[in-house]
Chain A
Amino acid sequence: MKHFGCLSLIRSSSSRPAIEGLFLVMLAFSSATAMAQTSLEDRVAAYRERVARLEDQDAVENLQAMFGYYFDKGLWSEAADLFARNGSFEYGLSGVYIGQERIRRAMLLFGPQGLSQGYLNNHMQLQPIITVAPNGRAATGRWQGPVQLSEPGANGVWGVGIYENEYVKEGGVWKISKLHFYPTAFTDYDRGWARSLLPMKGPSALFPPDKPPTVVYRSMPGNYIPPFSFNHPVTGEPLKNLPQAADSVTGRK
């Protein structure tokens, strides 16, 4: 609901000085219309901010979708390039990898660069809820992430999960500062959720993460609710402490 219609001016835009110049011309004329002129300038400034936030939202949406298309095809190098300098990558219970080089290598745990015949690694990036900070420098995004997997010699796998990510604008370019995918269920393609539940992988012994998992949870039959980055769109209240399913393993009641 917040329109981020604040009146603060953006100084980084190259077209800004020209507009300010024109307004100075306006202000030089009649003092009788000073109020109207001030109002016009304030309004243009406010509208620039609102349009900038719409553009930011589009940019973040595209960034995450682009990550998905790279990740699908094992283009780990291209995917890792989308992260900020100290960006982090966390997938399920595999732990946290920090920085582009660590992320690039960690993604090799999903298969070779570019994958190969017999691999399917679809990670769809859907249903985004993006919240851009009022200053336009940071954003969060929740995404619905259905997964279709296959690798040579194995049966296909369906998965579902949620992304709760963070983004940062560095030098005018949006980057991923934190990618956290919470897979919540995996099943065998032929058998389905009622008859097959596949576990998540733990941290790799071959290439251990920089940090342990930030959140320990159980995929289905657990029914974990990944935390929400955004407030309720009508009440404006944070979506915290929502009723969760009890979990007999972690002991959550």
Chain B
Amino acid sequence: MTTSLHRLALRTAAHAALAFATLAASAPGFAQSAAEKLDALDKRITRLEDMNQIERLQRTYGYFVDKSQWTQLSHLFADDATLEIGGKGLFLGKPRVLEYMQTAFGPDGAKEGSLANHMQFQSIPDISADGKTGWIRSRAYVMSIGGWGLPLYENEYRKENGVWKISRLTGPFTMYTNWEGWGKNALNNTWPDKFDPPPDLPPSTVYLTYPAYYIVPFHYPNPVTGKAFAPDRGEVGAYAAPPGTPEQAESLKVGRLADGTQPIAEPPRK
């Protein structure tokens, strides 16, 4: 990608120079054209830099979680950011992000005898056409004193005065287990009053974790077909009971809003 951009830079410059050489009389018009080409090039380079930068934000978030650096972590967020992790519900605003972390997980600074690695892998970054908004789907691979965990992320980022910040962190859980592993043990998803502090809003989406099944919607279309992911409204949801039972039929409605859609963790629509 970067190499082809490099070639484009050279080509653009060459075209600009040739335009001047052959049609100097109408140079202003061609100068504009060359400038426009450079504008387009600038946009493409900026997009690559922006994708790198939001990945850097997400990875740094992981390094801060590993060592309970909550104050530093909160500074990664925009003032009006939202945070939703597991089934705990939505926290609104940067101060509440900090309060959530410090109340739920203790003060800044990793404790002796503790391990809480949230390793950040497999990111798929995207940037909006206007360059102001970004998204990442990625995962955390949790290796902690309590066992193993698999959160996903479908996060949103915003560029404010040239600086990228997390504007929405959405970390739905796939699976949590103790050291015995998921063959023997599976923990429930969290819920709003499982631990303090209580959220500002209830969960945007209700779903169950493994061994139940929930597909977190993708912020991007299939890169080959271009088709957006469409959840199967008849069958998608959390499988909480054996197939064919009334409990299971009911649970198929879990994992979406009352209108049948599966938003990516935005506050409920009015």
Contact = CB atoms under 8 A, between A and B. Distances in A.
A47 to B, nearest CB: 5
Contacts of B104: none
Contact of A51 (B2, B24, B27, B53): B2
A29 B115 contact: no
Given A142-B63, A144-B120, A192-B147, A223 B112 contact: yes
A94 interface: no
Contact of B76 (A23, A54, A234): A234
Interface string A192-225: 1110000000000000000000000000111101
A22 B13 contact: yes
Interface residues of A, number: 60
A19 B14 contact: yes
B164 A51 contact: no
B145 to A, nearest CB: 5
Interface stretch (B67-75, B84-92, B205-213, B218-226): B67-75
A65 to B, nearest CB: 13
B81 to A, nearest CB: 11
Interface in A149-189: 158, 160, 185
B16 interface: yes
Contacts of B97: none
Nearest to A19: B13
Given A15-B10, A40-B35, A223 B113 contact: yes
A53 B183 CA distance: 46
B115 A220 contact: yes
Most central of B49, B145, B164 by chain A CB within 10 Å? B49
Contacts of A220: 113, 115
Contacts of B105: none
A247 interface: yes
B17 A129 contact: no
A50 B47 CA distance: 12
Interface string A26-45: 10011011001101100110
Nearest to A161: B117
Nearest to A53: B49
A40 B75 contact: no
Contacts of B5: 51, 54
Q: How large is the interface on B (under 10, 10 to 19, 20 to 34, 35 or more residues)?
A: 35 or more
Contacts of B27: 29-30, 32-33, 36
B60 A235 contact: no
A222 B38 contact: no
Contact of B45 (A23, A32, A51): A51
Nearest to A185: B115
Contact of B48 (A54, A160, A246): A54
B33 to A, nearest CB: 11
A44 B13 contact: yes
B233 interface: no
A160 B110 contact: no
Most central of A47, A220, A222, A230 by chain B CB within 10 Å? A47
B114 interface: yes
Contacts of A127: 59, 62-63, 119-121
Cβ-closest 5 pairs across A and B: A243-B109, A22-B17, A192-B179, A223-B110, A221-B113
Interface of B: 2-3, 5-6, 9-10, 12-14, 16-18, 20-21, 24, 27-28, 31, 34-35, 38, 41-42, 45, 48-49, 52-53, 56-57, 59-60, 62-63, 67-69, 72, 75-76, 107-115, 117, 119-121, 143-147, 162-165, 179
Interface of A: 1, 3, 15, 19, 22-23, 25-26, 29-30, 32-33, 36-37, 39-40, 43-44, 47-48, 50-52, 54-55, 57-58, 126-129, 142, 144, 146, 158, 160, 185, 191-194, 220-223, 225, 228, 230, 232-235, 239, 242-248
